[in-house]
Amino acid sequence: MKESYKPLFEPLTLRNGVELKNRIVMPPMTTFSANPDDTASDAELAYYAARSNGPGMVITACAYIQENGKGFEGQFSAHQDAMIPSLRSVASSIKEQGAKAVLQLYHGGRLAVPHLISNGETVSASSVAPLLDRGFYSIEQTPRSLTDTEVLELIRDFGEATRRAIEAGFDGVELHGASGYIIQQFFSPHSNIRNDRWGGSLENRLAFPLAVIEEAKKIIAEHAKEPFILGYRLSPEEPETPGITMTETFALLDALKEADLDYLHMALNDFWSKPRRGVESGRSRVELIQEHIGDRVPIIGVGFIHTPDEAVEALEHTGIPLIALGRELIMEPNWVEKVEQGQETEIQTAIHSDDQDELQVPDPLWELMMSVPGWFPIKVTK
């Protein structure tokens, strides 16, 4: 291994004492490949196993925690105890290869897909329709505003899903407070126009995310027999007006850094992207967030980091301790191992239509990779 790459392989001990063997994380990426009953498929297990030897931590694709929160075809579930054996198979496929296994928990809220849920009714903090096309589905339905009782049930169900993750053998959970899903919907001034204890003021819009964190912490204290990771993912800004700006994000960060989390995970398309509004600065969002958090909570950065040189630059320039590699680990499952073994020139940086079996990518994800222009670099010849 090159001397300059050693920072990528330094271990990191989280707040709760769990040690990550290096600074590389595999972030959550939807595979659209669960079985029809929303249990994890054999193809998904092979996909995770193929990528879990190198990174210090692997975060799964999001698992929905209530039946009406499903947002993707082929999404595995954490919404009932019957799913624990499925979740256990996912955890085992990751942990047996050496990485820490973290289950991402979420509810789609107004971005749930009507035809994938039993009564077709989406719910959210308020009855405000999404303005923008998000992800692989266009959701045009206006959600129903949750009652106070339902909000409390939703908080409890995040806790119940955390318990299932513990019983399934995961090393931790990540609460998905990003990408416009329900935790973010409660925090956003666009999607939350409530006038009760869950909305209105900035303080009230923070109440739901913090309540979910506290419920997860309570469940961990009651059920985990050994240190259990609790992470939180957030999107620093929203494109909508009104919407989350860096000003609101700094307020959220102030609350999160007091919440005894083990890490914060940025949801960014580009690691070096700069703020839209809410702060006057020529620096990137990641730099501003790291400066605001300091050493209180480890930050995971992500977005357009392809090479080991780029990963080292991101760590050293911003001071964040962890880098997530998404598409890179799909195209090259052995990215971490090849860097560690001095074989970085052999890292695959594009894919060919004949690579599927070698890369252990499930059919639904592979079909999307081949059909969405510009998503992955495709080789013309093998």
Name 59's bridge partners.
Answer: 102
Q: List the domains of the chain with CATH numbers.
A: 3-371 (3.20.20.70)
Residue type at 157? D
How far, in Å, CA of 157 to CA of 60, rounded?
19
**DSSP string for 29-85:** -------TTSPPPHHHHHHHHHTSSSSSEEEPPPEESSGGG--STT--B-SSGGGHH
Looking at the predicted structure, is the pLDDT value of residue 136 above 80? no
> Binning pLDDT at 50, 70 and 90, where does residue 118 land?
confident
Looking at the predicted structure, is the pLDDT value of residue 215 above 70? yes
* Model confidence pLDDT, tens digit, residues 156-205: 999 999 999 999 999 999 999 999 999 999 999 999 999 999 999 999 99
Name 182's bridge partners.
Answer: none
The pairs formed by 282-290 with CB atoms below 8 angstroms and a separation of 24 or more are 284/318, 285/236, 285/237, 285/246, 286/314, 286/318, 286/320, 287/317, 287/318, 288/246, 289/236, 289/249, 289/253, 289/264, 290/318, 290/319, 290/320
Question: Residue 10: its pLDDT value, please?
Answer: 98
Please tell me the chain's helix, strand, coil percentages from 3-state DSSP, rounded to the nearest 5: 40, 15, 50
Question: Residue 139: its pLDDT value, please?
Answer: 75
Nearest of 8, 21, 85, 78 to residue 52 by alpha carbon: 21
Percent of the chain scoring above 70 in pLDDT: 98
> Binning pLDDT at 50, 70 and 90, where does residue 379 land?
confident
Question: Residue 280: its pLDDT value, please?
Answer: 86
Q: Find out whether 111 and 130 touch, Cβ atoms under 8 Å.
A: yes
Structural element, H or E, at residue 26:
strand 24-26
Question: Residue 328: its pLDDT value, please?
Answer: 97
Question: Residue 133: its pLDDT value, please?
Answer: 62
* Model confidence pLDDT, tens digit, residues 234-265: 999 999 889 999 999 999 999 999 999 999 99
How far, in Å, CA of 244 to CA of 249, rounded?
7
Looking at the predicted structure, is the pLDDT value of residue 268 above 70? yes
How far, in Å, CA of 331 to CA of 344, rounded?
14
Question: Residue 355: its pLDDT value, please?
Answer: 96
Mean of per-residue pLDDT scores for the chain: 96
Q: What is the mean pLDDT of residues 102-110?
A: 98
How far, in Å, CA of 71 to CA of 84, rounded?
20
Q: Strand 322-324 relative to strand 24-26: parallel, antiparallel, unpaired? A: parallel
> Binning pLDDT at 50, 70 and 90, where does residue 140 land?
confident
How far, in Å, CA of 287 to CA of 61, rounded?
26
User: Where is average pLDDT lowest: 2-11, 119-128, 135-144, 267-276?
Assistant: 135-144
> Binning pLDDT at 50, 70 and 90, where does residue 131 land?
confident
Question: Residue 281: its pLDDT value, please?
Answer: 86
Of the CA atoms within 13 Å of residue 263, those in its CB half-sphere come to 33
Question: Residue 44: its pLDDT value, please?
Answer: 98
Q: Find out whether 135 and 111 touch, Cβ atoms under 8 Å.
A: yes
> Binning pLDDT at 50, 70 and 90, where does residue 332 land?
very high
